[in-house]
Amino acid sequence: MQYRLIDTHAHLDDEILGKDLDIIIRHALEENIGMVTIGSDLESSRRAVAIASKYPEGVYAAVGLHPQKVPLDGTGTAGIEIGLYRELLQHPKVVAIGEVGLDYRDFPVLRRGDARAAIIEAAKSKQKAVFSAFLELSREARLPLMLHSRESHDDLLSMLENWDKLTPGFDARGIVHGFVGDWKTARRFFNLDFAISVTGIMAHGAYNAEAIRKAPATQLVIESDCPHATIAPWALRRSEPSYLPACVSAVAALRGEKTEALMASMTANSLRILKRLKQ
């Protein structure tokens, strides 16, 4: 299949897609849009693999544990069945590990001496321990990461920078999903050989325009985050992979580039990073 575009991050197992899922996927494939459906816990990772397995080409999977789904009881990786994720990575349709990372959005900023501080630090520590385990799994399997980072860039980058020093020769680090950070943060990810991914919400002013304009052409990819993050004029509907050309057009306008040239660049980047994804 010659891809016009690759949706690097879709949640095709979401129940809102329901009985329309096959129609949505086939519509995208008819437009030569490939897609990666993402796992956010063990069960959704299994569903992602099952969905990808139904299609001979064009549909792939990533398996992982969303940081907000990390159980907060216990310490370290207690309660996380890493071995079962490892088994899923053996499937030929699995192209990445994700989504994994850190998410501090629901943790309040506390004043000094607040009694909740220890609880929050324990929760952050648990997320870090689980993310560290997936970093090791990425090294072991030589598969790129689909990173989730929300209000946690400094901690996540610190972990990646230390991991990076211990991982020579790793040729495809991965993708920062739905990146909305500033240019300074984007550069730190670029320095670690990560690409950043743009979603449809960039058309609604939810992005730092400087980071998108300045991003190297070799480190920019696209995603639907289906069924979320819908671009105009479909903003009141669920997102679909087939809407992505409109998103690329918006990014191209921001960067002063031609849409088709940017599509070609984004597709080449996705294929370079997701090496198991077959053209």
The answer to whether the pTM exceeds 0.85 is: yes
Q: How many domains is the chain partitioned into structurally?
A: 1
Q: What is the mean pLDDT of the chain?
A: 89
| Secondary structure in 3-state letters for 5-42 | EEEEEECCCCCCCHHHHHHHHHHHHHCCEEEEEECCCH
Q: Is residue 137 part of a domain?
A: yes
Domain assignment of residue 9, yes or no:
yes
Is residue 278 included in any domain, yes or no?
Answer: no
- Structural domain includes residue 45: yes
Chain mean position to CA 223: 8
Q: Is residue 129 part of a domain?
A: yes
**Phi-psi bin for 109: left (phi > 0), alpha (psi -120 to 50), beta?**
beta
Place of tokens 């670690």: 192
At residue 237, does pLDDT exceed 60?
yes
Distant-in-sequence, close-in-space partners of 130: CB < 8 Å, separation ≥ 6: 65, 67, 70, 77, 80, 100
Question: Does residue 279 lie within any of the structural domains?
Answer: no
Q: Does the residue 70 lie in any domain?
A: yes
Averaged pLDDT, 6-20? 94
What pLDDT score was predicted for residue 78? Answer: 79
Confidence of residue 57 (pLDDT cuts 50, 70, 90): very high
Judged by DSSP in three states, 213 sits in helix
pLDDT value at residue 271: 95
pLDDT tops 80 at residue 164? no
In a domain, 113, yes or no: yes
pLDDT tens-place string over residues 26-37: 999 999 999 999
Please give the DSSP secondary-structure letter assigned to residue 57: S
Question: Torsions phi, psi of 175, nearest 5?
Answer: -135, 135
Q: Which residues form the domain of 112? A: 5-273
- In CATH, what number is assigned to the domain containing residue 215? 3.20.20.140
Mean pLDDT in residue range 123-147: 93
